[in-house]
Amino acid sequence: MEEVWSQYPAAVEFIRSHTNLKPRVALILGSGLGVMGEEIVEATAIPYKQIPGFPTSTIVGHEGNLVLGTWKGCPVVAMQGRFHRYEGYSLKQVTFPVLVMHKLEAQILIVTNAAGGINRSFSAGDLMLITDHINLMGDNPLQGPNDESLGLRFPDMSQAYDPWLRSLAQEVASQQGLDLRQGIYAGVQGPTFETPAEIRMLRAMGADAVGMSTVPEVIVANYLGMRVLGLSCITNMAAGILPQPLSHEEVLETSSRVMPVFIKLISGILAKVQELL
């Protein structure tokens, strides 16, 4: 086990010194989506830089706070911004917060991201329910010695995205009149956007959207026995689909525009989770 993971008891102790809340659901709020954290009431916000073992966010659109409180009555812990392999962090560092949130007693992980649309039927601003993923990062956060007290050496990934949570999300979207897309997410290392040739390859492999996150966190959540729901905001169409260059500014602009719809969907899901669990 890489040294950073051994720091989780200190991180948990530090966070518990700031709040007595025991979260049921953990949320990872991706690029431009951190404003969702403002939906959390009676909130305690702790900067990442204060938490033992936590990296710091270096990307615009990632606020860099761990927020604990309630959302629609559901006790939650939310990451306002995540970490990425391309920032120079190991995947153990990238996924360390998932381990910490699990040890804070969260049993469900809702992971969000901004993604490029590969499926030609998608449009910028669509929301996509992740049904499965393809790991193209050339790495895995579980490499190295295994701590059997945390999880199995060879965890099953055949239902990485929990069927019950996916069904619940579809039910909420239908009630809200939202056309919630479904698809497979391809996780790549970044930080460059993909070339048109790479997008054609990903489409041939069956991917509907592509991004530079999510896969490592989902692997670790499954390893720890958490139930996972994944949601992508399609912030742009991938390279070669539209005759225009890609930019991070476009990602943030689309995330901001779609925010009310995304917040309504997450709120509905959390209300259902609180009601049913």
pLDDT tens by residue, 163-218: 999 999 999 999 999 999 999 999 999 899 889 899 999 999 999 999 999 999 99
31 annotated as belonging to a binding site for a ligand? yes
Instruction: Classify residue 134 by burial, with Cβ atoms within 10 Å: 0-12, 13-18, 19+.
Output: middle
Q: For tokens 């989770």, name the residue.
A: 273
Confidence band (pLDDT; 50, 70, 90) for 135?
A: very high
Residue 70 lies in a domain: yes
What is d(CA 209, CA 116) in angstroms, rounded to the nearest whole number?
5
CB 28 within 8 A of CB 79: yes
Q: Does residue 114 carry a catalytic annotation?
A: yes
Q: What is the pLDDT of residue 250?
A: 60
Residue 133 designated active-site: no
Answer yes or no: 89 catalytic: no
Q: Which helix (H) or strand (E) holds 196?
A: helix 196-205
In this structure, is residue 47 part of a structural domain?
Answer: yes
**What separation, in Å, do the N-terminal and C-terminal C-alpha atoms of the chain show?**
33
Identify the domain containing residue 272 by its residue range. Answer: 22-143+154-276
pTM above 0.85, yes or no: yes
Q: What is the pLDDT of residues 43-76, one digit of tens each?
A: 999 999 999 999 877 655 446 899 999 998 899 9
Q: Is a pLDDT exceeding 90 seen at residue 256? A: no
Tokens representing residue 229 in the block: 């729901």
- How distant, in Å, are the alpha carbons of 87, 179, 205 from that of 210? 18, 20, 12
- Name which residue leads in pLDDT, 225 or 125: 225
148 part of a folded domain: no
Q: Distance of alpha carbon 56 from its chain centroid, rounded?
A: 16
For the segment 101-124, what is each residue's pLDDT rounded down to a tens digit?
A: 999 999 999 999 989 999 999 988
Residue 193 phi, psi dihedral angles, 5° rounding: -65, 160
Instruction: Tell me whether residue 74 is in a domain.
Output: yes
Residue 67 backbone phi and psi in degrees, to 5: -115, 125
Q: Determine, yes or no, domain membership for 14.
A: no
18 annotated to a ligand binding site: no
- Residue 83, annotated ligand binder? yes
What pLDDT score does 242 carry?
A: 55
Instruction: Give the pLDDT of residue 249.
Output: 67
pLDDT surpasses 90 at 240: no
Q: Annotated catalytic, 213?
A: yes
Q: Is 86 designated active site?
A: yes
**Does residue 10 sit within a domain?**
no
**Residues 211, 272: Cα–Cα separation, whole Å:** 28
Catalytic residue status for 160: no
Q: CATH number, domain at 56?
A: 3.40.50.1580
| Residue 16 in domain | no
Residue type (1 letter), 7: Q
What's the structural domain count of the chain? 1
- 71 assigned to some structural domain: yes
209 annotated ligand binder:
no
